Amino acid sequence: MISKKMQEAMNNQINEELYSAYLYLSMAAWFEKNNLRGAASWMLKQSSEETGHAMKFFNHLLERGGEVELLPIKGPQKEWTSILEVFEASLEHERHISARINDLYSLALKESDYASQVFLQWFVEEQVEEEASVDEVVQKLKLVSDSKQGIFMVDRELGMRGND
């Protein structure tokens, strides 16, 4: 059985993951509105991944005899000034999520919750990938600066995510 403290922390993480999905949906909508369909597609896939992450926590809690408590999800930002600003916000958010996962792992250590430690290891590794993936986009966008042709090429590349 999972401890009440770990259960509460994981319920909070479910909320964080669902907020992430909302945030990335909002970013996708902004990209669509600004005719950046490749970036919109990239963010839609990101949103779907975050929902999947929430479900991993959901299922872990249930498998461990815990209780899932779905908390209200705050509304995400919906306006940005550029594609770079959106991806910088995404990178900042992923760093926030990494810190949250690290805090959960620390709690699992403190609680001697070995099952949660094993479970959370996947998320620790996933966050390294998430941050690197978004940072790569940020660096490409910084490289092309305000070049319309460069942004067009990056957007096109972003639209190919998952098509390799």
> pLDDT tens-digit profile of 4-46?
999 999 999 999 999 999 999 999 999 999 999 999 999 999 9
SS3 68: coil
| pLDDT given for residue 162 in this prediction | 65
pTM score of the predicted model:
0.95
Task: Indicate if the pLDDT at residue 126 is higher than 90.
Answer: yes
Contact assessment for residue 17 and residue 57, using Cβ atoms and an 8 Å cutoff: yes
Separation of alpha carbons 29 and 95, rounded Å: 22
